[in-house]
Amino acid sequence: MVKKRVSYVCSNCSYTAPKWLGRCPECGEWNTLEEKSETVANDQNHRLFASSPDTVFTHITDVKTVDSERIPTKYKEFDRIMGGGVVKGSYNLISGHPGIGKSTLMLQLALEFSKTKRVLYLSAEESVSQVKIRFERLSGGEECGTLFLSNESNLDKLRAKLDEELFDILFCDSIQAVYSPEVLGIPGSVSQIKECAVRLLETSKRCNITVFVVGHVTKSGAVAGPMLLEHMVDSVLLFEGDPSLGYRILRCSKNRFGATDEVGIFTMTSSGLVEVENPSEFFLTDDNENGTISGSARALVLEGTRPFLIEVQSLVTSSNLPQPRRVATGFDIGRLAMLCAILEKRCDIYCSSFDIFVNIVGGLRVKSTSVDMPLAASLLSSILGLPLPPAWAFIGEIGLGGEIRDVPGMDILIKEGVRLGLSRIFIPQTRSTSKYSEKSGDAEIVKVKRLDELREQIAETNIFETNARKH
């Protein structure tokens, strides 16, 4: 039985509605819903999974975990994000803005896997000769191993070929470029993405093939297409970073076989993506070496299990606007407004007549609350005009009462600060931090209980250093 279904799809965010709407409820754009008609077969699900007609129940003790073994790579940053390696038979999605390096990463992984596995790289957006040129540039003259190329965009033909020839790993670049002739709609439409995603999932689980799918993103940064695509895959990798800068940040927003709070740092070179061993140097600037610029503070933050030393910059200037501006790059704008309110209430630092601009150097997006005290120190430095020494670092969360609270991973952060040669590390004064002595290596550990104490520490130290320079 075949029936015709009419739906309305937003051309901006691919939101699907059963009837026409003037404004898209998902992205808020006007007049973007377009009518789409598709033919749906009632026995579609039965046709897709017809290879397993009998329902089989297996006791959990009889399941062999060897089928879920991990495949490690030479890229430690990638293995850390995936939880120790790629799980065999998993279904993975990688997305990012154009030019960020998605295809480059997939090509390098295909080269690495081809040394020990049988790999098929499907590029529906390029010819096989174009893909080979890129492979030769990234391989650097090394042998490609058992690596096969294809530019077949018909997914049904590809799946029929996969049944004949066995592959261990399949790369699909991209999900918006392949199609199924049994479904109405052009490649990249909502109906085609849904169908192709379901069929790749069925192929991955039935043949135990590890599948990597490249997905494009919308203007807002979300994966283009229906949310069904993200629900079906085992892991969702997000490639971030400014294409004009050299580094790339790889995050995992979903991982059924590992944690989702790890990040990987890569740098883009002429020969491809290279891992960054010391990422802290990418998020620092040398302009404040002599401590002559106010509004800059160093922060120790933890992303997953990795510590980072980053720089927080603030610029506070007088404003003639009835509602002063609050601009934050790499930091939550709502949390910035909260810290300004705490400074006014607890430290008598009035911010209501100032424009405040905050920037995390290097374009890094920080969600950890351990950056609260560094940001407050940066704001105090800019408002009071007191520069902070670059060898200082701050760790701590700030509560609404002006108290400074402990954050997870304090041991790792302090150890990283000592390794980087910091002279003074400000930490919260709490019951859990009482075990830390006043000296850790060459770094002095300063414990601060409240936000007003932090202001006094900054003012007193700057007065002392100013007098010392005069004498």
DSSP codes joined into one string, 421-447:
T-SEEEEE-SSTTTTS-SEETTEEEEE
Q: Which two tokens stand for residue 371?
A: 């950056």
Mean pLDDT of 342-361: 90
Same domain for 291 and 193, yes or no, is: no
pLDDT (average), residues 200-227: 85
Q: Do 85 and 16 fall into the same domain?
A: no
Q: Are residues 357 and 447 in the same domain?
A: yes
Report the SS3 class of residue 355.
strand
Do 233 and 342 fall within a single domain?
Answer: no
- Are 308 and 347 contained in the same domain? yes
pLDDT of residue 107: 92
| Same-domain pairing of 327 and 430 | yes
- Are 293 and 232 contained in the same domain? no
C-alpha 255/C-alpha 83 separation (Å) is 8
Q: How far apart are the first and last CA of the chain?
A: 93
Q: What is the mean pLDDT of the chain?
A: 83
Residue 412 within any structural domain of the chain? yes
Label residue 29 exposed, middle or buried (CB < 10 Å: 0-12, 13-18, 19+): middle
457 domain-assigned: yes
Residue 13 belongs to a domain: yes
Q: Which of 248, 277, 306 is the last residue before a domain boundary? A: 277
User: pLDDT tens digits, residue range 150-169?
Assistant: 988 999 888 888 888 889 99
Report DSSP state, residue 280. G
For residues 332 and 388, state if they share a domain. Answer: yes
pLDDT for residue 3: 58
Say yes or no: 291 and 435 in one domain. Answer: yes
Confidence of residue 397 (pLDDT cuts 50, 70, 90): very high
Residue where one domain finishes, among candidates 277, 298, 318: 277
pLDDT in tens, 52-79: 445 668 788 877 765 567 888 889 889 8
Confidence of residue 471 (pLDDT cuts 50, 70, 90): very low
**In terms of domains, do 76 and 216 share one?**
yes
Question: Which one of 255, 277, 299 terminates a domain?
Answer: 277
Residue listed under structure tokens 């059963």? 18
**403 vs 83, more confident:** 403
- What's the pLDDT score for residue 243? 64
Give the torsion through C-alpha atoms of 105, 120, 204, 239, to 10 deg.
Answer: 10
The most confident of the ranges 141-150, 201-210, 285-294, 455-464 is: 201-210
78, 223: one domain = yes
pLDDT value at residue 358: 95
pLDDT at 46: 43
Choice between 461 and 133, residue whose per-residue pLDDT is larger: 133
Local confidence band at 304 (pLDDT 50, 70, 90 cut-offs): confident
The pLDDT-based confidence of 277 (bands split at 50, 70, 90) is confident
- Evaluate if residue 170 carries a pLDDT over 90: yes
- Does residue 228 sit within a domain? yes
32 has a pLDDT exceeding 70? yes
Residue 47 lies in a domain: no
Mean pLDDT value across residues 419-440: 88
Q: Mapping DSSP to helix (H, G, I), strand (E, B) and coil, where does residue 132 land? A: helix
Pair 413, 395: CB distance under 8 Å: yes
4-18, 120-134, 174-188, 447-461: least confident range? 4-18
**pLDDT for residue 282 is more than 70:** no
Residue in the block written with tokens 């081809």: 114
Mean pLDDT within 246-273: 84
pTM of full prediction above 0.75: no
Triad 308, 314, 318: Cα angle to 5°: 175
Q: Which amino acid is at 100?
A: I
**pLDDT band per the 50, 70, 90 thresholds, residue 211:** very high
The whole-angstrom separation of Cα 90 and Cα 1 is 33
| CATH code where residue 231 lies | 3.40.50.300
**3-state SS, residue 311:** strand
Domain assignment present for 356: yes
Note the pLDDT tens digit of each residue in 126-155. Answer: 888 998 888 888 887 777 788 999 988 999
pLDDT given at position 335: 93
Mean per-residue pLDDT, 288-300: 75
- Share above pLDDT 90 across residues of the chain, in percent, rounded to a whole number: 28
Give the SS3 label for residue 89.
Answer: coil
Q: In the chain, pLDDT over 70 holds for what percent of residues?
A: 88
In a domain, 387, yes or no: yes
Q: How many domains, in total, are found in the chain?
A: 3
Q: Sign of the CA dihedral 412, 259, 171, 244?
A: negative
Average pLDDT on 264-278 reads 84
Residue partners of 149: CB distance under 8 A and separation at least 6: 120, 121, 123, 128, 131, 132
| Domain span at 405 | 282-470
pLDDT at 470: 38
Co-location of 120 and 155 in the same domain = yes
Is residue 49 in a domain?
no
- C-alpha to C-alpha distances, 203 to 22, 48, 71, 146, 255, nearest whole angstrom: 39, 10, 19, 20, 20
Phi and psi angles of residue 120, each rounded to the nearest 5 degrees, phi first: -120, 125
Q: Any idea which residue has 């009462």 for tokens? A: 401
Nearest to 301 by CA among 354, 217, 225, 366: 366
pLDDT of 48: 46
| Residue 339 pLDDT | 94
